[in-house]
Amino acid sequence: MTDSITIRAPDDWHVHLRDGAMLRAVLPFTAASFARAIVMPNLVPPVVTTVDAAAYRERILSALPEGSTFTPLMTAYLRDDTDPDDIAAGFGSGVLTAVKLYPAHATTNAAAGVTDFARVHAVLARMEKLGMPLLIHGEDVAPEVDIFDREARFVERRLAPLLRDFPGLRIVLEHLSTRVAVDFVRAHAPQLAGTITPHHLVETRNSMLGHGLRPHLYCMPVVKTEADRVALVEAATSGEACFFLGTDSAPHALGRKLAPVCAAGVFNAPVAIETYAGIFDQAGRLDRLEAFASLNGPRHYGLPVNAGTVTLIRADWEAPRDAAVDGPEVRVAAYRGGETIPWRIADAGAPE
Ligand code: NCD
Ligand code: ZN
């Protein structure tokens, strides 16, 4: 039995770090496990321009714990009125790494998302030319589409034509939640890749709804069936270059989760890399964790892999139940809080 594994330092290719007190509360968890992260732009108001992204990056850097070398990779929130020149300038200067497309109203803070792909044609064409990745929240939220079919519908009706229209555009379909999406990504690699979250590898709609309603497991896209979960585990642990790590860690204050209308999002940063390690271990595929966590993402983004390494060891520890946001009154509940977790990070940077 393998009790220790050393991999290149991993990256998180999809995280919500928020802003202000919430940023200060959650950033240390991501920075402790990941060398870089793709930071989602769905603040209120959203991060739309290069100027917005540069300012947000500064706020993240100033919230970092002393001595941290974590690098935030910034994204711009695509809107119908996004200026292609601004996106090109942001990419050229290194402020922007990618652009995020939310279909309008698809998820938390997506009201200003794209209403019609035809309206963002010029931006996508420019990104295609530049080699700038497009990140997609792939759900069709039309009222007649059942919530469990939103992803499959988007993939078939919206994503397939987009891939055809922009054959040189590199795309990430984020937080895959269905077998349909897994198969679709595989069939359209390497143009298309997909990220997979820890909670979509563990939870199903049974665990979310089958034994009482568990608001802390509610996220977009919602967790699906056991067959979908198994397909996601197979994809993540396959080593295939088109699948890589993106936690979609998405903290909300407890009051917004335990509310009549529960906010979507799972705050998994405190247990993310450890949960992935457990899943790969159970699958007997720990040897493929490095490809998923540290190699496939940089390759799709055209970025170097990290120089440092991280060692994970088999050792029980208790996951924190929550994190305090600016004092003890406001808290954000953590995924798997209070559970005994069988893997943990031993050491970052300098393995013996
Ligand atoms: C995210 C959030 O809270 O910002 N929520 C979620 O359920 N994943 C938004 C998103 O990525 O869809
Ligand atoms: Zn997200």
Q: Residue 192: give its domain's CATH number.
A: 3.20.20.140
What is residue 293's DSSP assignment?
Answer: I
Q: Which ligand has the nearest atom to the CA of 219?
A: 1
pLDDT in tens, 215-244: 999 999 999 999 999 999 999 999 999 999
CB atoms within 5 A of ion ligand 2 belong to: 248
Does ligand 1 lie within 6 Å of residue 300's CB atom? no
Pocket test for ligand 1, best of 75, 101, 107, 218 (most atoms within 8 A of CB): 107
pLDDT in tens, 83-116: 999 999 999 999 999 999 999 877 766 777 888 8
Pocket test for ligand 1, best of 12, 14, 15, 16 (most atoms within 8 A of CB): 16
Residues 29-47, mean pLDDT to the nearest whole number:
97
Q: Is the bond leading into 251 cis (omega within 30 degrees of zero)? A: no
Does ligand 1 lie within 6 Å of residue 232's CB atom? no
CA angle 246, 32, 14 (to 5 degrees): 15
Record the tokens describing residue 9, joined without a space: 């330092």
Residue 350, pLDDT score: 45
Residue 349, pLDDT score: 47
Q: CA nearest 99: which of 138, 44, 136, 46?
A: 136
pLDDT in tens, 326-352: 887 899 999 999 999 999 999 654 443
Gap from CA of 5 to ligand 1 centroid (Å): 31
Q: CA nearest 272: which of 73, 28, 12?
A: 12
Residue 156, pLDDT score: 94
pTM of the predicted structure, to 2 decimals: 0.96
Residue 351, pLDDT score: 40
Does ligand 1 lie within 6 Å of residue 219's CB atom? yes
Give the pLDDT band (50/70/90) at residue 207: very high
Domain total for the chain? 1
Does ligand 1 lie within 6 Å of residue 16's CB atom? yes
* Percentage of the chain modeled with pLDDT above 70: 98
| Rounded CA separation 263/22 (Å) | 15
Gap from CA of 352 to ligand 2 centroid (Å): 36
Q: Which ligand has the nearest atom to the CA of 246?
A: 2
Helix, strand, coil distribution of the chain in percent, nearest 5: 40, 20, 40
Range of the domain at 333: 4-348
Give the pLDDT band (50/70/90) at residue 269: very high
Give the pLDDT band (50/70/90) at residue 307: very high
